[in-house]
Chain A
Amino acid sequence: MSAHHAISKRLVLGFLIATPFALSASGQTTSPPPVTGTKKPTSATPQMIDEAIQRSQARTVKEREQRIPEQFGSEEPFTPTRN
């Protein structure tokens, strides 16, 4: 592939991706900046999974014993048992 062809292809691709913005019905686009760069685990560890299951069990026990549906935040704090 020639350099000229490669550049043309990039330009065409860029145009294709940008086209919908130009075509939007009202001409509006809103563009909040993507949230990137924050360091967070992008892969789950066995410990993470085990903790999630323990948390699930604890919430279910609480719901069964107290007959109160789970509410937001009511599960915190939760201390998992480390194996």
Chain B
Amino acid sequence: MYISPKASPARQREAQLARDNRAEIVKALSHGQINRRDLFKWGIFTATGALALKNGLSPFARSAFAAVPTGTPRSNLFGQQKFTCTLPRLALQKPVSLTRDPATRNAVFPASLGERPAKRLSYHTDFSANPSDNQFRNLVSGRGPIEGRPPGEIFAHQRWDEFFPKVGYVMSIGPVAAGSKFHPGFVAQNPNSVWCYGTGRFVSGTLPPPLIKARYGEPMLTRIYNNLPLYRSANEGFGVNETQAHFHNAHNGAESDGAANVHHFPGTFYDYRWSTTLARRDKINTQATDPRASGPNGSGGLTNVPGDFRELQGTLWFHDHRFFFTAENVYKGNYGMVNFYSGPDRGNETLVDGVNLRLPSGSLLDWGNTDFDVNLIVSDAAFRPDGQLFFDIFNTDGFLGDVPLVNSAYAPFFEVLPRKYRFRILNASMSRFWKLALAGPTGSAVPFQFIANDGNFVVNPITLTTLDHQGTAERYDIVVDFSRFRVGDKITLVNQLQMRPDGRGPQRDLTLAQALAGDPSDPCIGSIMQFNVVSSVPSVDVPNYTYSSTTPDNSVVPAILTQQIPIVAPVRTRLVEFGRSGNGDSRNSTGQCTPDCPETAVFPWTIRVNGQEAHSMNANRISLLIPKPGEIEHWTYVNGGGGWDHPIHLHFEEGVTINRGVDPIPATEKFVRKDVWRLRTIGQRAVTFQIQFGEYGGSYVNHCHNTVHEDFALLMRIQLLTGVPGSPQTAVTPTPNPTPDGVVWTTPEILPEGDPRTPS
């Protein structure tokens, strides 16, 4: 889609003009000067919501100057080259201790923060009881409650006393701070070009994204303020000022999953209780006697927790999940990472106790060392000619950027010692799949060990020279041993995957040599980051401490990392097809769309369950219902076909991947726990996995994590009746509908084919 910088000036102008025209339409839409109905009337949108192939508008329309598509102009890099800025380490957040008020059961922040206590029930409950009381009212807008979490018991924090938050974080999502850049040589971003997290309440957002180090046995309360502009049009062309923060696959109650149609508005906050619950705690190791199910206690020991150690999680992230605007908001910067630390995955490479795996990390801290355990967030971006972040919302197939970013920096370099490192690689792109490999100084492939998929250990490390395709939201943990290199050597991280220009999915795997040669039509192919082997590096864990190349590497990669969860006969099987069946109508039986209707056209994506009628997303429709906790099911996902790849994400629980239909299953997936599965167009178009639900309940979702597809309704609500006995989450919960004045409730419809309580 991106045209070569060597193309004629006329073609460059043509492509820029088309993109400017698209941007003008986006701006007019966001300012309310036109609506989607106008666009259909003018023939700009097709019936499926895609941009019509019009010259001067669509990048896929034939160019006036050549028999090729118009294309899109390359981003302005201001003359900067790759590997000229250092890798920013993620912004580590420091927790504050919370204390329990025995009278109120509230979690009290330190007085110095000036924060109101965190409560089991939302402050929306207080507002609803007394809307005129200013202490519960959003004083920025002058309307509605101060907290976005819906009122009453259904959105009370589940199991509050059992998982009472011990530490707290106060963060704000807001316009980026002045002077923030994606490379020192780029221009600074305008405040509303990037919306990201800052530490504290009255703060701007900052780059790089945040990192939270969490440990089992230490529940967290994360208070997120919405400091975004009050007016929706103040968005530099894309992004919506409403947010719900999804903690991607942490084991939390629906009220803290951030995807229950609970977005909140500027001036409000939302208290998420991130519980660090280990799955199966109500079923396995209930007395917490297994030391492998544990978290570090901070003084060399462990705090045991109930649950199944085989379900320990490690590399996680959180991101915006505002239905139908997720791609714009995440792309704009609304995300961060969370590392979960446990007895086996301690983040300490020297401590020997028979439980700790001693993976590369460091040892200056008791747990959570990150000197040799590095988070890498890989994404792709595009910039306007003036250097501001640009997003093209017109393509419902997918959005591809032409600037590779790692931790929000353009193709950075990272200095490493000649020893082992662990890298936690997250694909935070909107639509781009990556296939990453390492190239040594001579261009030959560098072997590495694959240890975890979506934050779940594989049973045995797998030696690879290239990763599998990595879809949006997938996390791959690898260990690279740089001891085979000499000081001065440079190793590059290489993307070997050619995408379809329309963003629908991968097109072709390239050899390492082909990838290193680059592709003029896609600058994200080839090297995207460089590792420079050096003789000393400063510690990030303990300031003023410096490691040298002679510092012993005490880390190991054990032959066994975890144990296999057996595959058993299921209670039931389910089939879910993601594609374009049916008519794409998102309305329910009474004509409602929740949260938003397409104004004229239908949504282009649908999901169907057990071969029945297809539906687009409606948050007030339950497509799958889980009747009770602990039942083991086998689910099969199938790509509906037609040429699109879909990375499908299931919230809340991980599934054990069983097979890929009739196609071979990669070693990195076979019997491995995952929460995102790629459904390919050819080969691996299906996946079957084993799943069970427990500990919490409520409303969650299941969706394509190509967020452009997701925003055009390729998601569905799943309802878990798996709350603890006596809780509201043992029954179907009503649907919250956020408004600036507070939440309004509706009663969801339930698809009979998704409800096993329905006699078939």
**What is the interface of chain A, defined by CB distance below 8 A to chain B?**
9, 13, 16-17, 19-21, 23-26, 28-45, 48-49, 51-53, 55-60, 62-64, 69-73, 75
B48 interfacial by beta-carbon distance below 8 Å: yes
Listed A/B pairs (23) with beta-carbon separation below 8 Å: A13-B726, A20-B154, A20-B736, A23-B125, A23-B152, A24-B128, A32-B590, A39-B759, A40-B612, A42-B752, A42-B755, A43-B572, A43-B610, A44-B575, A44-B610, A48-B610, A49-B573, A49-B688, A56-B639, A59-B642, A60-B681, A60-B685, A70-B580
Q: How far is the CA of A62 from the CA of B575 in the complex (A)?
A: 23
Residues on the B chain within 8 Å of A41, using CB: 610-612, 753, 760
A30-B746, A32-B589 in contact; A17/B638 too (CB < 8 A)?
no
Closest-CB distance, B734 to chain A (whole angstroms): 6
Find chain B residues with CB under 8 A from A55 CB: 577, 640-641
Query: Taking CB as reference atom, which chain A residue is nearest B590?
Result: A32
- Asked if B750 is at the interface of the complex by the 8 Å CB criterion, the answer is yes
Q: What are the interface flags for B726-760 relative to A under an 8 Å C-beta threshold, 1 for contact and 0 otherwise?
A: 10100110101001011111111111111110111
Q: With A34-B748, A71-B48 known to touch, is A42 a contact of B582 (CB < 8 Å)?
A: no
Q: In the complex, A43→B707 CA distance in Å?
A: 29
Closest to B624 in A: A42
Chain B residue nearest to A46 (CB atoms) is B573
Cβ contacts under 8 Å, B124 to chain A: 23
Report the minimal beta-carbon distance from A71 to chain B, rounded to whole angstroms.
Answer: 7
Which residues in window 181-209 of B have CB below 8 A to A?
none
The docked-state distance in angstroms from the alpha carbon of A44 to that of B635 is 9
Given A35-B749, A42-B610, A43-B756, verify A16-B728 contact (CB < 8 Å).
yes
Contact A63 B592, CB 8 Å, known A16-B728, A17-B731, A25-B741:
no
- Tell me the smallest distance from the CB of B150 to a CB of chain A, in Å: 7
Residues of B within 8 Å of A34, CB to CB, are: 732, 747-750
Output the least CB separation between B671 and chain A (Å).
19
Contact assessment for A57 and B612 in the assembled complex, using a CB-CB cutoff below 8 Å? no
Q: B682 at interface (Cβ–Cβ under 8 A)?
A: yes
Decide if B744 touches A28 in the complex (CB within 8 Å). yes
The interface centre, meaning the residue of A17, A39, A40, A56 with most chain B CB atoms within 10 A of its CB, is A56
**Which chain B residues in 640-675 approach chain A with CB under 8 Å?**
640-644, 661-662
B308 CB, min distance to chain A CBs, angstroms: 26
For B637, give the chain A residue with the smallest CB separation.
A52
A40 touches B760 (CB 8 A): yes
| Residues in A whose Cβ lies below 8 Å from that of B152 | 16, 19-20, 23
Tell whether, in the assembled complex, residue B151 and residue A23 are in contact, meaning their CB atoms are under 8 Å apart: yes
Q: Are B642 and A72 in contact (CB under 8 A)?
A: no
Closest to B662 in A: A53
User: Measured between C-beta atoms, what is the minimum distance from B683 to chain A in Å?
Assistant: 10
Nearest 7 pairs between A and B by C-beta? A25-B742, A70-B642, A59-B641, A44-B575, A20-B152, A56-B641, A40-B753
Q: Which residue of A lies closest to B155 (CB)?
A: A20
CB distance from B284 to the nearest CB of A (A): 26
Instruction: With both chains docked as a complex, state the minimum distance between the C-beta of B143 and any C-beta of chain A, in angstroms.
Output: 10
- Min CB–CB distance B698 → chain A (angstroms): 12
A51 touches B611 (CB 8 A): yes
**Assuming A25-B744, A32-B592, A60-B641, is B726 touching A53 (CB within 8 A)?**
no
**CB < 8 Å neighbour of B758 from A21, A40, A62, A75:** A40
Query: Which residues in B have their C-beta under 8 angstroms from that of A53?
Result: 638, 661-662, 685-686
Shortest distance from the beta carbon of B63 to any chain A beta carbon, whole Å:
18
Cβ A42 vs Cβ B758 within 8 A: yes
Q: Is B636 at the interface (CB under 8 A from chain A)? A: yes
List the A side residues contacting B572 at CB < 8 Å. 42-43
Separation in Å of the B453 CB from the closest CB of chain A? 23
8 Å CB interface, B603-645 against A: 606, 610-612, 636, 638-644
On whether the beta carbons of A32 and B749 are closer than 8 Å, the reply is yes
Add 19 more A-B contacts to A26-B741, A55-B640 (CB < 8 A): A23-B124, A29-B734, A29-B744, A32-B749, A34-B749, A36-B758, A41-B753, A43-B756, A44-B573, A44-B574, A48-B611, A49-B575, A53-B638, A57-B685, A59-B642, A60-B642, A63-B643, A70-B642, A72-B583
Q: Which residue of A lies closest to B686 (CB)?
A: A53
Chain A residues, Cβ within 8 Å of B752: 35-40, 42
Roughly how many angstroms separate A32 CA and B735 CA in the complex, as a whole number? 12
Of B129, B592, B681, B756, most buried by chain A (CB within 10 Å of CB) is: B681
A40 to B623, CA, bound (A): 13
Q: A17-B728, A26-B741, A73-B583 are in contact. Are A32 and B760 (CB under 8 A)?
A: no
- Residues of A near B151 (CB, < 8 A) are 19-20, 23-24
B144 to chain A, nearest CB (A): 7
